[in-house]
Structure 1
Amino acid sequence: MWKFYRDVTLFALLFSVVAIPFGSLLTTPIVFGVLGTPVGLLAYIYFQKAEFYGYYNLGYTRYRLVTKTWLINLCATPILLLIALIISKLITLGALTNS
């Protein structure tokens, strides 16, 4: 199950990073938590659909894999939001510039 979570979350992180120019640094964790997992799942189905049979043979249903992945990502979202808030605050204070 860990490999499934890692693969879907990597696709979700990639989607969130690509979404930064369309929003802001503070909206990225929210995009990751809410929309990242479904987009990551779509990418996983497109690129690695055959691996679902291996998880099914191990006793994992698709529903169980997706719900656990989404719950873990939703629980990680407040932590990521806090980190993004700290980074944006440091940027506004000028602490991360080369002046």
Structure 2
Amino acid sequence: MSTAQQLPLTDLQIALISRALADRRRFQILTQISASTEAVPCAELLKAHPVSAATVSHHTKELERAGLIATLREGKYASFLMQRDVLHAYAQQLLQFC
């Protein structure tokens, strides 16, 4: 998990997360990553999504930039972990508008 994400998130963080979640494919990739308690290898994402490796790479970079996932690298291989505390902070901040 990421280190002690505190409320409130900055306006930039909110915008990056909102933008990342607005894309259907990124949302599907995040859903797949969040379904696992272990790191999800990039190869698993490629099997589940009928797009190129470059497209998956682009989407995972956007999710990482938003702070929603962390990338673990071992040589040329990458795996991804959900950053649940960031998504939770985002949801909590959105709930303030209700």
TM range (shorter): 0.3 to 0.5
Higher helix share goes to which structure? 1
Higher relative contact order (CA 8 A, sep 6+): 2
Higher strand share goes to which structure? 2
| TM-score computed with the length of structure 2 as normaliser | 0.37
| TM-score computed with the length of structure 1 as normaliser | 0.37
